[in-house]
Copies of this chain bind each other. A is one copy, B any other.
């Protein structure tokens, strides 16, 4: 069911690798061709070498090579707002004919007028109302189809790309590089787990069971057509900040040896992963490229990077300067 994404995206990612590097010979030797030579790239390669060289105190047995990646702002873009929020607003518009009361009922009325600032003025409560109205009330199978349809048609307002084309080419290479060295790669995101699973294998090579995220509750029901899982309008788990190590423990049951993020929402995940014994690695993507992507950190309401950036220095985490460390941002457009 998810296979239509897969081959296509893998081929595109592969072609992208070929395109961005000049020399065929260099490509064969360089697993990270979209990364400029520099401290960030060097730190990654050195960590992988340490973790995979037997007979040293830093060696990590393959069963323990767990690497966790945030999604929004780490593997794909997150501006001008989290893509799942754009999905939710699009869903409000699509569902509006079935909800005439939304014309006057906030926060829906503002969403329908295109006034997102007012819609979100109510803070978490407003956002929660929008999420529950758009993400619950259907079966898991129906929701998967809704997500797949949106992703195959909706385009980003600034780039005109499909959202799954706004993944970071250097991070795709990093995921593949770690897997080639025996790491199991997991996504650990504040985003909805069922919003990610329909496409993470095709786009990132991460299968559904290696995706950890926020969730609403589901309920098993036997119907005349057989059993279904119904999505309920009730929060199950918020996989953000202190929740990330909790989600990691619940789903993975092992402490990661490497963690990759970009915001304060990833701080505790990096603390948790890098506090273990032996070779450890923490990395933050710093959005510094206003031309090719976006530039934001301590003041941003989306993907704020403040405390974690301060802590990176004292803890020896790698900070990627997107502007200088990455040769390209996105893979070539697919459509």
- Give chain A's interface residues, CB within 8 Å of chain B: 2-3, 61, 63, 66, 140, 184, 186, 193-194, 197, 201, 207-211, 215, 217-220, 222, 226-227, 229, 236, 242-243, 245-246, 249-254, 268, 271-272, 275
A201 to chain B, nearest CB (A): 7
In whole angstroms, what is the CA distance A268 to B220 when docked? 8
A225 to B, closest residue via Cβ:
B275
In whole angstroms, what is the CA distance A121 to B2 when docked? 49
Known interface pairs A63-B201, A201-B63, A227-B268; A208-B252 also in contact (CB < 8 Å):
yes
Does A252 lie within 8 Å of B209, measured CB to CB?
yes
Does A209 lie within 8 Å of B254, measured CB to CB?
yes
**Oligomer copy total:** 2
In whole angstroms, what is the CA distance A275 to B221 when docked? 13
A65 to chain B, nearest CB (A): 11
Does A249 lie within 8 Å of B229, measured CB to CB?
yes
Partner of A207, one of B2, B63, B217: B63
Partner of A275, one of B208, B227, B250: B227
Partner of A209, one of B3, B219, B253, B268: B253
In whole angstroms, what is the CA distance A141 to B271 when docked? 16
21 of the cross-chain contacts (CB-CB < 8 Å) are: A2-B63, A63-B201, A140-B249, A193-B250, A193-B253, A197-B253, A208-B252, A208-B254, A209-B209, A209-B252, A209-B253, A209-B254, A215-B250, A218-B250, A222-B271, A226-B271, A226-B275, A227-B245, A229-B245, A229-B246, A251-B251
In whole angstroms, what is the CA distance A220 to B210 when docked? 21
In whole angstroms, what is the CA distance A218 to B272 when docked? 14
Partner of A227, one of B219, B236, B272: B272
A200 to chain B, nearest CB (A): 9
Q: A194-B253, A227-B272 are in contact. List 17 more A-B contacts (CB 8 A).
A: A193-B253, A197-B253, A209-B209, A209-B254, A211-B253, A215-B250, A218-B249, A218-B250, A219-B242, A220-B242, A220-B245, A220-B246, A227-B268, A229-B245, A229-B272, A236-B250, A251-B251
CB contacts (< 8 Å) of A140 on chain B: these are: 249
A138 to chain B, nearest CB (A): 14
In whole angstroms, what is the CA distance A275 to B236 when docked? 26
A184 to B, closest residue via Cβ:
B209
CB contacts (< 8 Å) of A209 on chain B: these are: 66, 184, 186, 209-210, 251-254
A310 to chain B, nearest CB (A): 15
A45 to chain B, nearest CB (A): 26
Closest 5 pairs (CB-CB, A-B): A208-B253, A226-B275, A220-B242, A197-B253, A209-B252
In whole angstroms, what is the CA distance A197 to B249 when docked? 11
CB contacts (< 8 Å) of A219 on chain B: these are: 242, 246
Known interface pairs A208-B252, A253-B208; A227-B3 also in contact (CB < 8 Å):
no
In whole angstroms, what is the CA distance A210 to B251 when docked? 8
Does A220 lie within 8 Å of B272, measured CB to CB?
yes
A260 to chain B, nearest CB (A): 17
A194 to B, closest residue via Cβ:
B253
A91 to chain B, nearest CB (A): 21
